[in-house]
Amino acid sequence: MSITMIFLLLGGLGMFLYGMSMMSEGLENVAGDRMRRILEVLTSNRFAAVGIGAAVTAVIQSSSATTVMVVGFVNAGLMNLLQATGVIMGANIGTTITGQLIAFKLSDIAPFILFIGMLMTIFSKKRKVSKIGEIVLGFGLLFVGITLMSQAMDPLKENEQFRSFLVNFKNPVVGILVGTIFTAVIQSSSASVGILQTLAVLGLIGLDNAVYVILGQNIGTCITAILAAIGTSANSKRTAGIHLMFNILGTTIYMILLGIFPGLVPIIESLSPGDAARQIANFHTLFNLSVTIMLFPFASLMVKLITRIIPEKQSADAVERKLLYLDERIAQTPAIALSQTLKEINRMGKLARDSLQLSIEALFEQNEQKAEKVLEFEKTIDYLTQHITTYLIDFSGMDLSKNDLKVMGSLHHVIIDLERIGDHAENIAGYAVTLHETKDDLSPEGHDELRAMVEKTMEILDKSLEIFKSRDKSKLQNITDLEQEIDNMKKDYIKNHIDRLQVKACNPQVGVIFTNTVAALERVSDHADNIAFSINIE
């Protein structure tokens, strides 16, 4: 094989892969947000999940992209493992569309398709037309790449050494390994099948050899989801594991079938005699469709098995100090970016609320262990503050609606308010430790007043967090009334405290803790008020 042939082959492969990527990205840009919404909303039924997985993959022309989205949705809590299994099965069916398109042999008109795509991409001022142009351009590049690869490999028809190498694919193990490794390297089963079709059209490989390579290609395509699941939740790893398990089981089933029924290959060949590319596309479609039908009834068992293989790590603090609803995949999904951010902030609000409650308990009980737990809560709140803010900054550059951008802007202030509530909880926990160490205590009157103020503060905080979660403006007046009541309590209680100091009814050092705690609770009510009224931006 000459240097020129190698360069031509690599150039054709590069153009083919780039065309696939451009077509997939263009399709995702045109229909991606809609497809993601469909994936998020309509997968509650397992049968529907298979259909949606197939449809979405057929539209965006990439089972890898669909599976990576599913991994992200599972990691974000939008989809459970059983739903994800259905979508993955459907994605395996949808990905066969590319092979069927390639079998139409549009290479002769590929330059014209390229020209049309170029005109739409470069000269159209409409964004949607330009994106459709990218799809057309990618489609044309795909077939030009196939033409170049065909030209590069054409001389190999006379090369006995290369033909002898391809004969090895008759060995099922060799064929599966080659298909798996090559597909894992280029991370696209569609592209891998397309290259196999090119070899078949040149007469270098027959369907009897190609079937085992196709089985391996279905295993190799799992590498993308596996890489996407690194560093995510256990459920996300299980999603990638189910994808791998499904394709390995399918390959095993077909290995047995091909051994028992060797006439299966001739039957598929007879459906499109003399059309090697279509024969490969048909086997690829048959494999994924039939394996889905066979394994679909066992989806629940697959979920149970993968849950045992990949158990949840039992480490509460480690799980807590991480984002549950936001990750890099969500950061590339404008359609659900806002809803996922709100979920993460609602979670942060609950942590801030629980931290404050724990700090109050630590103060009244002089409980050092509870005070230490508040410090752990504070570390988590600080972590969430930093990382949610980073995502908010990233989201500001997204193509969101004006209302969504306004809401995103208001969330910066909500995060600051929640972080400050965490700080006040930490301060109150510090006062609890001081009382524990000095063996001092509040006066009975101070106890009663603080308990009354705590009750009102927790009430306004709970109601504010609920308003923020429900986005219900009708309850805002109640927040205003509560906030004013707490302001009055602060004034009255500090005046009462000064009166007690004058008659020496309380310890001055403990008095400082009392006044600081009253001030902290009043500031918490102010932050709660801010959180509730942040929804007025909508």
Would residue 330 count as lying in a domain? Answer: yes
Distance CA 477, CA 99 (A): 61
Q: Are residues 417 and 276 in the same domain?
A: no
Q: Are residues 328 and 237 in the same domain?
A: no
DSSP state of 388: H
Would residue 378 count as lying in a domain? Answer: yes
* b/e per residue 107-122 (b: at least 16 CB within 10 A): beebeebbebbeebbe
pLDDT for position 316: 42
516-521 contact pairs (CB < 8 A, 24+) = 516/427, 516/431, 517/363, 517/428, 517/431, 517/450, 518/449, 518/450, 518/453, 518/489, 518/490, 518/493, 518/494, 519/490, 520/424, 520/427, 520/428, 521/424, 521/450, 521/453, 521/454, 521/457, 521/486, 521/490
Q: Write the DSSP string, 123-143.
A: H--SHHHHHHHHHHHHHHHHH
Angle at which helices 189-201 and 172-186 pack, to 10 degrees? 120
Residues 6+ positions from 184 with CB-CB distance below 8 Å: 220, 221, 223
Would residue 315 count as lying in a domain? Answer: no
Distance CA 253, CA 39 (A): 29
Domain final residue pick, 287, 309, 331 = 309
Specify the amino acid at residue 112: F
Specify the amino acid at residue 354: D
Query: Which CATH number belongs to the domain containing residue 355 in this structure?
Result: 1.20.58.220
Would residue 402 count as lying in a domain? Answer: yes
Q: Are residues 266 and 395 in the same domain?
A: no
pLDDT for position 39: 58
Asked if 79 and 70 touch (Cβ cutoff 8 Å), the reply is: yes
Would residue 334 count as lying in a domain? Answer: yes
Q: Are residues 408 and 522 in the same domain?
A: yes
Q: Are residues 272 and 331 in the same domain?
A: no
Is this model's pTM higher than 0.75 or not? no
Q: Are residues 66 and 212 in the same domain?
A: yes
Rounded to 5°, the CA angle 68-74-77 comes to 145
Token pair recorded at residue 59: 């539209």
Nearest to 473 by CA among 537, 403, 401: 537
pLDDT for position 502: 79
Q: Are residues 429 and 526 in the same domain?
A: yes
Would residue 314 count as lying in a domain? Answer: no
Token pair recorded at residue 1: 């094989």
Domain final residue pick, 279, 309, 339 = 309
Q: Are residues 271 and 339 in the same domain?
A: no
Token pair recorded at residue 188: 């696209």
Specify the amino acid at residue 392: L
Domain final residue pick, 309, 333, 352 = 309
Other CB atoms within 10 A of residue 244 CB: 17
pLDDT for position 317: 42
Q: Are residues 260 and 361 in the same domain?
A: no
Cα 36 versus chain centre, distance: 11
Q: Are residues 387 and 489 in the same domain?
A: yes
Would residue 155 count as lying in a domain? Answer: yes
Nearest to 68 by CA among 284, 259, 229: 229
Q: Are residues 284 and 240 in the same domain?
A: yes
Cα 297 versus chain centre, distance: 26
Total domain count, the chain: 2
**Residue 238, helix vs strand vs coil:** helix
Q: How far apart are the first and last CA of the chain?
A: 66
pLDDT truncated to tens, each residue of the chain (538 aa)?
A: 578 878 888 888 888 878 877 876 776 666 555 555 665 555 567 788 888 888 878 876 677 777 877 777 776 666 778 888 988 999 899 888 888 888 887 777 888 888 998 898 888 878 778 888 888 888 888 888 878 887 887 777 677 777 777 777 778 899 999 999 988 887 778 778 888 888 888 888 889 889 999 999 999 988 888 887 776 678 888 988 999 999 999 999 999 999 899 899 999 999 999 899 999 999 999 999 999 999 999 999 999 999 999 887 654 443 456 788 887 766 666 667 888 889 999 999 999 999 999 999 999 998 988 998 998 899 889 989 999 998 888 887 777 778 888 888 899 999 999 999 999 999 999 999 888 888 888 888 888 999 999 999 999 999 999 999 998 888 898 999 999 999 999 999 999 888 888 777 677 778 888 899 999 999 999 999 999 999 987 6
pLDDT for position 61: 67
pLDDT for position 395: 81
Q: Are residues 104 and 182 in the same domain?
A: yes
pLDDT for position 111: 85
Distance CA 194, CA 18 (A): 13
Would residue 333 count as lying in a domain? Answer: yes
Nearest to 69 by CA among 44, 32, 99, 105: 32
**Where in the sequence is the domain holding 496, given as residue range(s)?**
320-537
